[in-house]
A and B are shown apart, each in its own frame.
Chain A
Amino acid sequence: MTDIREGIFEGKRVERHHGWPRFEVDRDGWIRAAEALAHGRLALAGLWGEKAAIHMAVLAEEGGSAAVLTLACPDLTFPSVGRVHPPAIRLERAAHDLFGLVPEDAPDLRPWLDHGRWGVRFPLGAREPAPASGVPYTFLPVEGESLHQIPVGPVHAGIIEPGHFRFTANGETVVRLEARLGYVHKGIEGLMQGATLARAAELAGRVSGDSTVAYAFAFARAAEAALGIEAPPRAVFLRALMAELERLANHLGDIGAICNDAAFALMLAHCAVLREQVLRTAEASFGHRMMRDRIVPGGVACDLEPAGAAAVASLVKEIRARLPALIELYDNTASLQDRTVGTGMLKPELAREFGAGGYIGRASGRSFDARRDLTYAPYDRLAFEVPVMQEGDVNARVWVRIREVEQSLSLIDQILELMPQGPLRVQTRTPGTPVEAAAMVEGFRGDVLVWLRIGADGLVERCHPRDPSWFQWPLLESVIEGNIVADFPLCNKSFNCSYSGHDL
């Protein structure tokens, strides 16, 4: 695998960009990159717009290198990547909705985030007044005999986030599923423009509530890389501790929730107790159950007292003691296994094509973990394994979570042992000239990417947080095909994609 940091795209390297290299390419370079994506030589890690420019983050997975490519588009058009590489389609639609950038020959130009309710078009670009009457959204056509449609959502019967799912079914068998998202668009990218670094860090922590640590971590790393400062060692270890606690809480909650969707409430009851203990330990140690706003650019906002460290250590002991019985319960309940094994198969080729992160990719043979493959402090000093399975069904996604819980427990042990003493925070500075950086952090759901440009005055000029769900939602549609309608909740829960992080 080529090291893409060497600039195989014959672009001009941007000197002020840190963390990953950024290349300004011409149309040919852009098209070559799209073809490299289509041939699987690279994986897409993000695609986002700016006024009169389009950016694309690419990964060379096995070499563990990443780069950002930029194509200037003064006429607001660029060669479509989605034309040859489907994972880019929704990203291009979103870039069009926000900036008015038009992907040429794009296979799909329907609006994605823009539901016609903003009052303006292209809010981050040219800001045109929206046409008075909203254009109805057309779903992809499905043809065939005795097919019927089941619209589900955006308001659901349970307390979950909003999203619309359009099923076309033949009896109970799903022929096609098309999701429509964007209902929780909050305009985070717009709010970040011109915000101070502290304010933007808070916004980043609110992109997706269950991953607030991962987002704050990624934003802080991007900001520090851009400004050329480094968080003190103790802060770095505290960040990893919070990230692992967040992973632990979410994985435990998911394992229980997946079983509950098969009406096996016993697992949920036990897992919910463990999750609650993680959250209470987080509150006792860091003063907030979800540890929101605890990671800030330059370091961390609060210290871990010895009592807190003891609480975390005893939490790890407690989970270690109780997890084996839960795993056995999951593995030995035949009625539950009957539901999870073989349901919602994700093919390894698709997982690789879409660069699916987290447990979704790892349950389908894609061994990528930002902590290992694009390593960052302190994970370069910690020993851990990345569990990978090949089956790609709901059961595999549960097992990857179980294995990751075990890894997280071991990581927390190591972090507590290696935690150095020292200061918690360094001051951020005003850069004087515009600086940029990209950073990727492994959240519980997958890799969270933050790309950031800080202006000469120290205010955020442009920030793009990219949720792993962008590459996972489309896979959910392929996973459910051929399954029965009643198995969708189980597949959906085993994916557990973020609506909020995706809709921004």
Chain B
Amino acid sequence: MDLILSFLIQAAQMAIVLALAPLLTGFVRKVKARLLRRQGASVFQPYRDIARLLRKEVVLAESASWLFRVIPYLIFAATWVAAALVPTFAGGLLFSWTADLIAIIALLGSARFFLALAGMDVGTSFGGIGASREVMIASLAEPAMLLTVFALALVAGSTQLSTVAAVLATPEVGLRVSLAMALIALVMVALAENARIPVDNPATHLELTMVHEAMVLEYSGRHLAMIEFAASLKLLLYISLIACVFVPWGIAAPGSGLAGFALGAGAYLAKLAVGGFLLAFFETSIAKMRVFRVPDFLGVALMLSLLGTLLLFASRSL
């Protein structure tokens, strides 16, 4: 029975992230537009965009290899699975016994690896620029992310997200400096990973400044739809991850009743809305940094997560 229930929760989780991801992207865009005193497109516009792209014909560069055609699905699948591993409204997911936080990082890392390959596959200079910039950013963002995970694992005694969330929700954890550092580091990594301002500008038309967009310039039709969808999923994943680890309250524990799930779902939507609003607000109030400042920015994230981990070690040995 428990197995069936956790299977159902897992299925619901996978459906929910898929259904909500474009809405979150649309919501962030809408809030940004309103902050700029524009009307903005409907929050449902990303769904329409994806539907439109799925209907459209795929235009392939003559020099594109089979890899170029396969990669969008790979990226989408990897990101979807990763997003399905983060407890959103309920803990005790079926998959979380097979994959932990490090697996999420690995899934996202392989998605990025393939995207960078796709960027270079066609051989245009923009794809190459985008890929080289993306890898430069990743080389600093991934260690910072891993160190953050270590800090969390030291507190919770596990790298499994359900367990981490459950432990961090208990009052014994209290306020910890190392957790605050981990939070800041994770937010900075999330900004970089999702190609948001100040690291990248998701709304730019300037080819020369692009990072993520430069790699996907050659994509069209359903391939582009997959990549856009994966980008939305990734944003949802990171906001869910931050919410699940640092504001774990409201997540339905395994075995709670229907009311618990309803409360969990409501709390999750509220967390997403707050996260989306904060992101939009932050992006409106800051300019994009120079490409060569990004290592400084991510270096701070790396240092913070390292400090957090070290502090935990130090406080344990005392």
Contacts and interface: CB of A to CB of B under 8 A. Distances in A.
Interface of A: 148-152, 156-158, 171-172, 259, 261-266, 268-269, 273, 333, 335-336, 338-339, 484-489
Residue among A171, A269, A336 with the highest chain B CB neighbour number at 10 A: A269
Residue among A149, A259, A488 with the highest chain B CB neighbour number at 10 A: A488
A150 B125 CA distance: 6
A156 B217 CA distance: 12
A156 B205 CA distance: 8
A149 B286 contact: no
A150 B129 CA distance: 9
Chain B at the A interface: mostly helix, strand, loop or mixed?
Answer: loop
Contacts of A489: 206, 208-209
B290 A157 contact: no
Given A156-B207, A157-B206, A266 B290 contact: no
B292 A149 contact: no
Contact of B288 (A149, A150, A273, A339): A339
A150 B126 CA distance: 7
Given A158-B205, A488-B208, A338 B287 contact: yes
A269 B201 CA distance: 16
B207 A157 contact: yes
B18 to A, nearest CB: 29
B285 interface: yes
Interface residues of B, number: 31
Given A158-B206, A172-B291, A263-B201, 14 more contacts: A148-B128, A150-B125, A150-B129, A157-B206, A261-B206, A263-B288, A266-B36, A266-B284, A269-B36, A339-B287, A339-B289, A484-B291, A485-B208, A486-B208
B197 interface: yes
A488 B204 CA distance: 14
Residue among B32, B37, B201, B208 with the highest chain A CB neighbour number at 10 A: B208
B235 to A, nearest CB: 17
A338 B206 contact: no
Interface string B2-35: 0000000000000000000000000000001001
B164 to A, nearest CB: 33
B70 to A, nearest CB: 26
Contacts of A151: 125
Nearest to A485: B208
A385 B251 CA distance: 65
B38 interface: yes
A172 B205 CA distance: 19
B198 A263 contact: yes
Nearest to B206: A489
Interface of B: 32, 35-38, 125-126, 128-129, 132, 197-198, 201, 203-209, 217, 284-293
A148 B198 CA distance: 27
Contact of B208 (A152, A259, A265, A273): A152
Contacts of A485: 129, 208
A269 B208 contact: no
Nearest to A172: B291
Residue among A158, A263, A488 with the highest chain B CB neighbour number at 10 A: A263
Contacts of B209: 261, 263, 486, 489
A263 B204 contact: yes
A172 B132 CA distance: 10
A487 B293 CA distance: 12
B255 to A, nearest CB: 47
23 contacts: A152-B208, A156-B207, A157-B207, A158-B206, A172-B291, A261-B209, A263-B197, A263-B209, A264-B286, A265-B36, A266-B36, A269-B36, A273-B37, A335-B286, A335-B288, A335-B289, A338-B287, A338-B289, A338-B290, A486-B209, A486-B290, A486-B291, A489-B208
Contacts of B287: 259, 262-264, 333, 335-336, 338-339
A228 B136 CA distance: 67
Contacts of A157: 205-207, 217
A157 B210 CA distance: 11
A149 B125 contact: yes
B125 A335 contact: no
Given A269-B36, A484-B291, A486-B290, A152 B207 contact: yes
Contact of B37 (A149, A261, A269, A339): A269
A335 B198 contact: yes
